[in-house]
Amino acid sequence: MHAKSFEMALPKRNVFVVRFAIIFVLNLVEIYGKIPTTLEGPFKPVTVHLDESFRGHAIDLPDTDPRVQRNVVGFEPEQISVSLSSAYDSVWISWITGEFQIGDDIKPLDPKTVKSIVYYGKLNFLLNYKAKGDSLIYNQLYPFDSLQNYTSGIIHHVRLTGLQPDTVYYYQCGDPSIPAMSEIYQFRTMPISGPKSYPSRLAVVGDLGLTYNTTSTISHLISNQPDLVLMVGDVCYANLYLTNGTGSDCYSCSFSDTPIHETYQPRWDYWGRFMQPLVSKVPIMVVEGNHEIEEQVGNQTFAAYSSRFAFPSKECGSSSPFYYSFNAGGIHFIMLGGYIAYNKSADQYKWLEKDLAKVDRKVTPWLIATWHPPWYTTYTAHYREAECMKVAMEEILYKYGVDIVFNGHVHAYERSNRVYNYTLDPCGPVHIAIGDGGNREKMAIKHVDEPGNCPEPSTTPDSYMGGFCAYNFTSGPAAGKFCWDRQPEYSAYRESSFGHGILEVKNDTHALWTWHRNQDMYNKAGDQIYIVRQPKRCPVEPKVSSLVGL
């Protein structure tokens, strides 16, 4: 008998009981059905090699593509985006007004000439709240002949406060005195923090770029209807271009004589326009990657990254846009910087200690950490490149019971078994490298455990951060070696393909992770597993209330 017909045959007082039982059974099937769980692990390592037929169009969208062209006039807002504050009751609205300039003779706009105002409310015809914010411009300057300087449009950041959890708000941004206002957009706030309260779907994407593969990734991602987008670094790859707009997959190969590593900053504007249909309604949280370094005159770095995005740094006690934290329902996210000092005497590490000590796992049972360069990768690309960061920070993240780690950087997909210090550990986090968003650089294909692929140790340290920490393994199957001679037991699944991931936290112990390949149908999973927490088996460092006020 069909469930609905069965309900109709029952007394009304029993209908609720039956509905509850059906939902309960379906949830059990979903959780304990055919999808594997980490409780069944560690799993035997699996490798899926690159399918050359699905390489796709790994070339950038041209500036003539209508999706990246400016379609506003005057000081009307464009590149509109939403990002989260540290808690559900506030969000940031960001946008740009005015046109960028690039050339030898640029005249920066004055941010004071355009106001930063957002009207918002629960009804699209009644935006009865008003918030004011700040604005800025940034420059990318090169003191060399023939290199063109850049100055941005006016970048606005406005924080909306006093919001209710899990609620749709409508908003309109701009300057009403010009007038130059946007259309009306909407977003949904995060649910209240608690052990039974989670956003439905969290999308994770890395190394995105702005290629035809990128458009496929974002199309798939949108079809999964995420509530939040986590961007794990390497945003638009503007640094693969000279200032005259000439691009290359291999910058150092094509432009070996350039006096400084140039960037073509309009690629940032193109990316912001392309992403607006998604991020104007779905919050995006970003952490910096190596392609955001973008050195310019005076050794200044990260100007575009630091200026274009709003970060909840001040709200969470951080003094930097390179590391911060926030809550999304019962999840506490820690966003760390792989390209800023991370040793135990550095400000980032001190902040991390304080932030972790304040996490109440009874309120936010899930603890997820994100940074760009992975600690656990078996690809030759960037192998053990972030070892010094791992040496500095892995112990404290393990002590406080981080459940999942998301990284990018390596242009492929890899999921680990639970691991700590290169050893299988049922209480270690699951590391997921998902730097397969679709950028124009080559896909990572080679593995270090394959004959002839193990790099010389001296070649592995990150050139920007420096330092050497990646020594030979001292124990286990790879003792005395720099690489394993087979896929390491901590590597559960790896595949060279473009895609994105979706995390669905079901309750305080179960979260469904699904990796979607671009070449598959929207409803097909390339890799899928339930990540299961075991708080009784794996007790974590308790919250230290005395540190809350620090």
Q: Point out the residues that are catalytic.
A: 382
465 SS3 class? coil
Non-local (6+) Cβ contacts of 75 within 8 A are: 97, 98, 114, 154, 174, 175, 178, 180
Non-local (6+) Cβ contacts of 30 within 8 A are: 506, 512
Query: Can you spell out the DSSP letters for 147-161?
Result: PPEEE--EEEEEEE-
Which of 230, 254, 231, 232 is closest to 241 using CA atoms?
254
Say if CB 232 and CB 372 are below 8 A apart: yes
Identify each DSSP E strand in 116-216 by its residue range. 117-121, 129-132, 134-136, 139-140, 149-151, 154-160, 168-175, 180-181, 185-188, 202-205
Non-local (6+) Cβ contacts of 419 within 8 A are: 376, 425, 428, 429, 431, 490
Q: Which two tokens stand for residue 202?
A: 């969290």
Q: Report how far residue 440's alpha carbon sits from residue 57's, in angstroms, rounded to the nearest whole number.
A: 9
Query: What is the rounded (10 degree) CA torsion for 464, 384, 366, 285?
Result: 30
> Helices 387-399 and 347-358: crossing angle, nearest 10°?
20
Which of 437, 443, 68 is closest to 220 using CA atoms?
437
Q: In what order do the strands lie in the sheet with 324-328?
A: 46-48, 491-495, 413-416, 430-434, 404-407, 366-370, 331-335, 324-328
Say if CB 278 and CB 229 are below 8 A apart: yes
Q: Which two tokens stand for residue 357?
A: 């000590």
The residues that bridge with 140 in the sheet, in sequence order, are: 150
